[in-house]
A and B are shown apart, each in its own frame.
Chain A
Amino acid sequence: MSDWLETWQSPMVQDALRVGIVLAIVAGYLGIYVVLKRIVFVGAALAQVSAAGVALAFLVGWNPLLSAALFALAGSAFFSQPWGERRISREALIGAMFLTFSALTVLLASKGAHGMEEVQHLLAGDILAVAPEEVWRIGVLGVLVLAVFLLLRKEFLLVAFDAETAQSLGYRTRWWEFAFYLMLGGLIGAVIHLVGLVLIFGYLVLPAMGALLLCRHVASAAVVAIVNALLATVAGLLISVVFDLPTTATILALMSAIAALEGLASAAMSHSSR
């Protein structure tokens, strides 16, 4: 048996594959809402808030998953608040949160046992380093988040598209927004210390972006986003094993390539239909 096949079949790569598949399905689907709601950078900021939670946990000896989840929940509550007519735009606030928690993560990690190595791990992550017991945990969380999202998809869609009309129909949009951010934050918080900030951010943005360029319906875009993410995950892991490349970067590069191809296909289709 060739070396790469042996590596591919190793428990380490198979666990990474399982976690990647769960993330591809759940984050790929949620990403459609993240991109449509124009809150891409909220995803990044929430991931950074969670990373600070992990850094704090390493420093004081807490459970990193619990700490990340608590930070993510606090961040979700914060970002779900309506941002009306203020003197500062919501975009500036998201940027400020991202920078503040980036700085906090570095400061906390610099005093931790592993120093900057920890920061590097939180940013780039390593899906290959996921412990077997984490696979089940992420699997259960993924199924839960996906089930809630599928059951409440029409309400989330209405609130995202037209919150005012939703309110006039009796929906408490503030609670629906909170529920959305809670699941987004919960997912990010649960996986950030395992796969890193960049990869989870990538799963939330790139597959959905390509799908939305290509598709003419929310449901079909969701399916294509999941397929994009699955393709990039499986092919990315395989390529990184065969060619001994960094896994996160390979998966992200494939996601970008797929999104770019779909963008080109969309442009070609609209050009030919003129």
Chain B
Amino acid sequence: MNMAHEPLVQFQDVQLGYGRQVVLENVQLDIFRGDFFGLVGPNGSGKTTLLRCLLGILKPLSGEVTRSAGLRIGYVPQREMLDPLFPLSALDIVLMGRYPCAGVFRSPRRADRDFAMQCLQQVGLGEAAHKLYRELSGGQRQRVLIARALAVEPNLLVLDEPTNGLDLPTENAILGLIERLHAQSSLTIVLVSHVLNVVARYATRMGVLLDGRLLVGDAEELMQKQVLEEVYGVPVCAATRPPLHRSGARDGGGVWQ
């Protein structure tokens, strides 16, 4: 069997919701090994619900979600969900990704600490390891959370609105980092955002949430004027802009030529 075409996660005719309230119906979705999958939809369209099911936090009302054996998910939550009052350093937070390895009743070992440090270096934050999370900028905090997800040694990295509230250069830097992780480490990525162009620039496959359903296809296929107008409920004017020159992209993200 071709490993690249083995789904890491498979949703089969899944219905999602809370109690009697159905949020999403007939969800058919395969996340393949090596995918860069973008999930978009307006606020309130059910992105978080689908994400929670993907993470295994929410059980489907009906249908089946199959996860491949050995699946390890590194989850990057929205920064705003975390309380910056906790006196935790960047390294403390990244170490949390090693807690399941350390086991209950045990402190993380030296090797876990070293690995967490490597993850911080991987996202370019080795120097800030001992800085408090609350003293970091929005972009640095996002990198810390990505490093924590990497500390899980994941084969699937799930990011929830990673560019929310970031200025443009920082947004580009974060997306550049995610793209680099995808390319260099063959990491499967699921990127969730309500900002369409953020996802469309990097994802190879996309899922668009519309009226309680999930449309899945190639990014280009779904970026049609008709689909976008239906999803966002406003007229869409297609703007032409030059393609991203990927080879010139540094950590600062892509360079428009």
Q: A interface vs B, CB < 8 Å?
A: 36, 38, 151-152, 154-155, 157-158, 160-162, 164-165, 167-170, 212, 215-218, 221
Contacts and interface: CB of A to CB of B under 8 A. Distances in A.
Interface of B: 55-57, 73, 75, 77, 81-83, 85-89, 92-93, 96-97, 99-100, 102, 104-105, 107-108, 132, 148, 152, 158
A167 B108 CA distance: 19
Contact of B104 (A155, A160, A217): A155
Closest 3 CB pairs of A and B: A168-B75, A168-B55, A167-B57
Contacts of A36: 83, 85-86
B89 A217 contact: yes
Nearest to B134: A216
A interface SS class: helix
B77 A165 contact: yes
Contacts of A212: 85, 87
A152 B104 contact: yes
B100 A169 contact: yes
A161 B104 contact: no
Contacts of A154: 96, 99, 102, 107-108
A90 B96 CA distance: 27
A217 B88 CA distance: 6
B99 A169 contact: yes
B99 A155 contact: yes
Given A164-B57, A168-B57, A218 B99 contact: no
30 contacts: A152-B104, A154-B99, A154-B102, A154-B107, A154-B108, A155-B99, A157-B96, A158-B96, A161-B82, A161-B93, A164-B55, A164-B57, A164-B75, A165-B77, A165-B148, A167-B56, A167-B57, A168-B55, A168-B73, A169-B100, A169-B152, A170-B56, A170-B100, A212-B85, A212-B87, A215-B87, A216-B89, A216-B132, A217-B87, A218-B92
A216 to B, nearest CB: 5
A36, A160, A169 pick with most chain B CB within 10 angstroms: A169
Contact of B99 (A158, A160, A216, A221): A158
Contacts of B92: 217-218
Given A162-B77, A162-B81, A216-B87, A152 B55 contact: no
A152, A161, A218, A221 pick with most chain B CB within 10 angstroms: A161
